[in-house]
Amino acid sequence: MTHYLLSVHSVAGQVHEPMTEAQMQQSWQRIQKLEEEMKAGGAWVFSGKLHEPDTATVVRYDNGELLTTDGPFSESKEHIGGFYIIEAPDLDAALGWAAKVTDCISAPIEVWPFAGFAKD
């Protein structure tokens, strides 16, 4: 078994067609159903949706001095918007879950294996 991060990326400034109340409700229900499926299949470890990147804060040591700065670490336009941590027997199984997630949220999913988090 390997743990995988399924991360959802959002692009800053990208305007989406606003969803109607009914569409939002439907999308939420689909995601809920998928998460139940993941839990029932023993794949779900953790998941969460993140606030916008401008709510992030970076903490670092610079020449021995602790610096706290506003904003995300990466200056790129793309930021992680949410993620799943799942457990799967192999990459094909993880890609299978990723396919279901991307179908629900209509955004690309990145699948990353965790290092040193594997167990049998």
Partner 1 sequence: MGRTQSGDADTNEITLAAIGRTFREESGRSVATLIRVFGDIDIAEDAVQEAFTVALRRWPVEGRPANPGGWITTTARRRAIDRLRRASREQELLRTITASPVASPDPATSPETGPLPDDSLRLIFTCCHPALSAEAQVALTLRLLGGLSTGEVARAFLVAEATMAQRLVRAKRKIKAAGIPYRVPDPEDLPTRLRPVLSVLYLIYNAGADGPGGADLRSEAIRLTRAVAALMPAEEEVAGLLALMLLLEARRPARFDTGGALVLLGDQDRGLWNRSLAEEGQAIVRACLQRDRPGPYQLQAAINAVHADASEAEATDWRQIVALYSQLLAIAPTPIVALNRAIAVGEVEGPAPALALVDALPLDHYHLFHATRAALLRRLTRTEEAVAAYTEAVVLAPSDTDRRFLEDQLAALRKS
With binding defined as CB under 8 A, does residue 108 bind partner 1? no
Q: What is the DSSP letter of 63?
A: T
Looking at 36, 90, 103, 110, which residue binds partner 1 (CB under 8 A)?
A: 90
Question: Which region, judged by CB under 8 A, interacts with partner 1, from 22-30, 38-46, 74-82, 84-92?
Answer: 84-92
Q: Using an 8 Å Cβ cutoff, are 87 and 45 in contact?
A: yes
* Shortest Cβ 117–partner 1 spacing (Å): 11
Total residues contacting partner 1 by CB under 8 A comes to: 11
Q: What is the 3-state secondary structure (H, E, C) of 71-104?
A: CCCCCCCEEEEEEEEEEECCHHHHHHHHHHHHHH
Looking at 24, 58, 67, 91, which residue binds partner 1 (CB under 8 A)?
A: 91
Q: Using an 8 Å Cβ cutoff, are 82 and 8 in contact?
A: yes
Looking at 6, 43, 86, 94, which residue binds partner 1 (CB under 8 A)?
A: 94
Q: How many CB atoms lie within 10 A of CB 10?
A: 17
Contact residues toward partner 1 (CB under 8 A) are: 2, 88-92, 94-95, 111, 113, 115
